[in-house]
A and B are shown apart, each in its own frame.
Chain A
Amino acid sequence: VNPFPSYLEMKQPLPLWVWHVLRAGMMAGAFALVAMLFIRPRDGLIAWWLFVLPCIPLLLMLAPGIWRNLCPLAALNQYPRLFGFTRGKTVPARLLRSAFLIQVTLYFALISTRAPVFDHNGPAVGVLMMVALGAAFLGGVVFKGKSGWCGTFCPIMPVQRLYGQTPAVVVPNSHCSTCVGCTPNCLDFNPRLAVVADVQEGTAERVGQLKFFAGAFPGFVVAFFTLPNSIVGDPANLAVSVPRFYLLTAAYMLVSLGIFYFLDTFLSVSPLVLMAAFGAIGLNLHNILRFPTSFHFEKPAWMLGVEYTVVAAATAQFVVRTYLKERQVARLFGPGGGDGVTVRPGGGYEAAGASSNGGSHEVSFEPDGSRVIVCSGTTLLDVVERAGLPIEVGCRMGVCGADPVRVLDGSEHLSPPTPGEQSTLARLGLADGCRMACSARLSGDVRVSLDVSQAETLRSTRVKVEYDRTVANVVVIGNGIAGVTAADHVRRRHPECAIDLIGEESHSTYNRMGITRLVYGSSAMIGLRLLPDDWYERNRVTCWLNTVVHEIDRAARRVTLGTGEILPYSRLILTTGATSYVPPVEGMDRQGVFMLRTADDAIGIRSYAQRRRCGRAAVVGGGLLGLEAAFALHKLGLRVTVLHRSEQLLGGQLDARGSELLERYFLGLGIGVVLGATPVAVEEEDGRRALRLGDGTRLDADLIVVCTGIRPTVDLAEAAGLDVEAGVLVDEHMRSSDPLVYAAGDVAQFEGQVYGLWPVAAAQAEVAAANAVGDVRSYKPQPPVTILKGVGLPVTSIGEINGAAGTEHLSWHSGDDEIRYWKVVVRDDRLVGAVILGRWPETPSVVDAVAANADVSGTLDALRAGDLSALTRS
């Protein structure tokens, strides 16, 4: 049932003929009053000013429908229509738009002329009434519907819209048998909604008109009744001159209007309710403030008391009901319940939910309390990344220390930390309760905070071993992850020796694996540094940044710095790392050609791309770093092409299928891939740079980034006479050909291998440090894990992937619909290698299983059937 029916949907309380009779009675009454005003002005004025007029406002408020049906002016206006002689013209739009102005002007003009004229002049009132009756009739003859008077010119209309918007009793319009739509939002059509529609959907001009009248109204009433200008019935008593009277009236109205706009601005009350309240105040003032009369006729006190009370009660219920009505309108017709956009209902999206992907756990983040639902086996890092929360990403193996989080609740629902992760946490000085996000896999609900600054710090990282007390100074050359790890582990075992850590770069140890972010992101080095600022001081490590080592004098056991200082050493640990390999390509020294190895390289690329407004970029080298660089440049907004020498992307880490899918992925991103490409020269013509390839083709590129591998930095070691091949040769104790000199990380060559991987560097550095201070540790190579990060498609490769004879390859591929692939390599029922492309929550478990050479005889069938999760369960 529509709570806001139009008059056409309402039931008439009286038969139509009754209305006609009543209207005729009113007409007769009106003419009788007019006659009386001429014949017996005194009685006519008393009847009009003291009895008829005071009743009208109350009627307009409680049951405006009755007035609108009975008003003699309306009746006269409608007779031409009733008897069929109206011309039925449409009011011109311009006039219709001015209707309110006409009404208000007439209203204020006529009412304020009461004092000078109408209050004491019966015939004048009579003439006024005659004019009004005539005008209403004439309007009815010319214009259609009620637009000839009621909707357009009637001076009482603004008052009706103000008081009559929430009738206590709705009496439907009995004039119009059909609606001709003569007046927009007509009070007769839908009495309870007309003004709400005006205010909520009207133009600013329309709303302004309504506000103006409501706001000025109480001021007008006060002016009218309190300016000492009139005694009803006595022409002699005009205490104020007429111009002054109008000026003061205008001033009163302005004050009232000012109060209205003040409240409208500063109170959070809806304009509609505020307008109703002002209408109510005006009506009460109208009722309480009265003119003295000269009729020697006063209403008795009880009658006045009753009048005051009735009006106050009537107006109070009016305001409250207007408020309630507006809320009801908002509930029923207000915006809500959707705007036509839906997601396929019933099923469908539920499949996207974590619960359908095997168990759902809730991870909540403090301090903002956001809660994410994920499935078992997901790492905290994945959760944080996908939730769009700020976190740094490094090796994803728990070694680099880029992504510590504090676990507030539910730490038992995370996979226990590995020794590598514990070592990293210890290096960061973080006590229990903190985890490296990449290494913590979920099996239940947890609550975490990304802010570890409040975490408890570790009091001691001491490793209790018999250390060599003859070791007085340890010098570590190289401030990368290997150098810092070495210094850290020397200090853990040897509390006394001096440690000098010398780095060529100007930054303290940073997350080298995150440097591609420096290319596309704007947060520069923020968050990339891996050690707390006080780390060096706390561990009593003398740090020499931006410092070059000139020479190692093995005979004198000392190191000469570029600054001239000489550092003696008992043990020397070389962690000088590697530099980019510069391929023999002509023009590599041209502007716009960059290597990518250090943070400064990445910062340089970003600033060059911006300064030169580069549009196209070429990346030489389709290895891990090359692909990450290409993605970073793509995110920076450049059109990127990757040139790769061999026929397979990530040839060493992926099988043919994996490489092909990875290539397809890059093409899908809009990054070009050219395989079998051999750049021979960087050329420049007319300021346009291009890369010429071996087959003669030219590739335009404003910016060229070269990522063709690394060369261990062995110059110092070579000059010092150590045994060097590709890297510094070391034994399983990471000892070089000089027993006092160790090497670890990218500079070290162990069993013919230079790994160039962070986890390896950290592990080797720990071994080197331990042995350097008298502990005995051996390095046992693990199957290297390579992870392509931060390109949107996770690629993980571990162990033997192009396995030799005696291996079985089990693989699954999602087909053309999606790039998603895995392959595991099994030898003698044991897992020896795996390749995983795409988002698989099982990835960390598979990596663990390969690293542990797990026996998979029980899950072979499931794997053959394409179920990778079987490995998680076993």
Chain B
Amino acid sequence: MSLSRLTNPSDTLPEHAAPSYSAPAETSFLASCSDADWERIGRYCVQRRFEPGEEIVRQGEVDRSLVIVLSGSLQLVIAHGRGEESIEVIDAPTVVGEVSFFDDGPRSATMRARTAGEMLRLSFDDFEALSAASPSLGRTILLDAGKIVALRLRRTTRLFLERSRQPW
């Protein structure tokens, strides 16, 4: 939530502060999947437990996998120059790591566990195997992961606008 909404009367907020498009504010990953689908996905994933402080995703690391966080809470941090900056807290259930999953580049941020929790890791190779063995499920995963990328990109765009076009 933006603080500017609390420090200015709502009808005087600059136009960009409220999105003019009616983009979905949230997306539910694999909401259409049945238990049988999830069981199938489970065969291609590895289930991991993590402890507070553990790094689920490490910035700069090359690890082409999608992480489905089943329980727990993560802190997103970005390391730069002399230290690191805490960006936000992301709570389960959620999906992280989608950027590297798609572009095979190094991880762009670190996800550090704030609490204990569990996750499923789907490597790209396993995803390929899954989608070759189960094309329709593979397609669903791909589209839903794409929606996550789109949602987060829209968020980034909005943040960028909010920060760059304030009147002062």
What is the interface of chain A, defined by CB distance below 8 A to chain B?
Answer: 4, 6, 8, 93, 96-97, 99-100, 179-181, 184-186, 189-190, 193-194, 196-197, 200-203, 205-206, 268, 329, 333-345, 347-354, 356-357, 360, 362, 369-374, 383, 386-388, 635, 665-666, 668-669, 791-793, 817-820, 838-839
The DSSP consensus for interface residues of chain B is mixed
List 14 additional A-B contacts (Cβ < 8 Å) besides A190-B6, A339-B90, A388-B63: A184-B7, A190-B7, A336-B89, A339-B151, A339-B155, A340-B27, A343-B70, A349-B93, A370-B50, A372-B48, A668-B132, A669-B128, A817-B136, A820-B133
A341 with B152: CB separation less than 8 A: yes
Q: How many angstroms from the CA of A423 to the CA of B104 in the assembled complex?
A: 40
Do A348 and B3 touch (CB < 8 A)? no
B60: Cβ under 8 A from any A Cβ: no
Is B45 located at the chain interface by the 8 A CB criterion? yes
A residues in contact with B9, CB < 8 Å: 6, 8, 179-181, 189
With contacts A184-B167, A340-B25 taken as known, whether A349 is within 8 angstroms of B38 at the C-beta atoms is yes
Choice from B31, B155, B168 contacting A205 with Cβ under 8 Å: B168
Chain A residues with Cβ under 8 A from B49's Cβ?
A: 362, 371-373
Known: A343-B70, A345-B93, A349-B120. A386 touches B1 (CB 8 A): no
Contact B121 A341 (CB under 8 A): no
Minimum distance in angstroms from A450 CB to a CB of chain B? 15
Q: 0/1 per residue, B2-45, Cβ < 8 Å to A?
A: 11101111011000000000001111111101011011111111
Is there contact, CB below 8 Å, between B168 and A348? no
Contacts of A374 in B (CB 8 A): 46-47
Query: Residues of A contacting B152 with CB < 8 Å?
Result: 339, 341
Q: Is the CB of A202 within 8 A of B42?
A: no
**Which residues of B60-87 have CB atoms within 8 Å of chain A's CB atoms?**
63, 65, 68-70, 83, 87
Q: When the two chains form their complex, are residues B129 and A340 in contact, meaning their CB atoms are under 8 A apart?
A: no
Residues in A neighbouring B11, C-beta threshold 8 A? 181
Answer yes or no: B100 CB below 8 A from chain A CBs: no
Question: Please, how many angstroms separate the alpha-carbon atoms of A337 and B93 in the complex?
Answer: 10
* Sample of 25 A–B contacts (CB below 8 Å): A6-B9, A100-B168, A190-B7, A196-B3, A268-B83, A329-B3, A334-B89, A339-B90, A342-B27, A344-B33, A348-B38, A357-B43, A362-B49, A369-B51, A372-B47, A373-B118, A374-B47, A386-B126, A665-B132, A668-B135, A669-B132, A792-B126, A793-B133, A818-B134, A818-B137
Other-chain residue from A184, A193, A336, A351 in contact with B38 (beta carbon distance below 8 A): A351
Contact across chains for A340 and B151 when beta carbons are under 8 A apart: yes
A166 to chain B, nearest CB (A): 14
Chain A, Cβ-Cβ closest to B69:
A343
Q: Which of B7, B45, B63, B94 contacts A341 (CB 8 A)?
A: B94
Query: B45 to A352, Cβ gap below 8 A?
Result: yes
**Contact yes or no, A387 B121, CB < 8 A:** yes
Cβ B166 vs Cβ A352 within 8 A: no
Is A343 in contact with B29, judged by CB distance below 8 angstroms?
yes
A354 touches B42 (CB 8 A): yes
Contact of A185 among B7, B25, B31, B88 (CB under 8 A): B7
Q: With A and B bound together, what is the CA distance between A410 and B62 in angstroms?
A: 32
A839 touching B4, Cβ below 8 Å: no
Min Cβ gap B104→A in Å is 11
Option from B12, B25, B47, B121 in Cβ contact (under 8 Å) with A181? B12
Q: Is the CB of A356 within 8 A of B89?
A: no
Q: Is the CB of B167 within 8 A of A387?
A: no
B95 & A341 in contact (Cβ 8 Å cutoff): yes
**Contact across chains for A388 and B28 when beta carbons are under 8 A apart:** no
Assembly CA distance A856 to B66 (angstroms): 41
Interface string of B134-168 (1 = CB under 8 A from A): 11110000000000100110010000001110111
Partner of B132, one of A96, A185, A356, A792: A792
A341 touches B35 (CB 8 A): no
Residues on A with beta carbons closer than 8 Å to the beta carbon of B35 = 347-348, 351
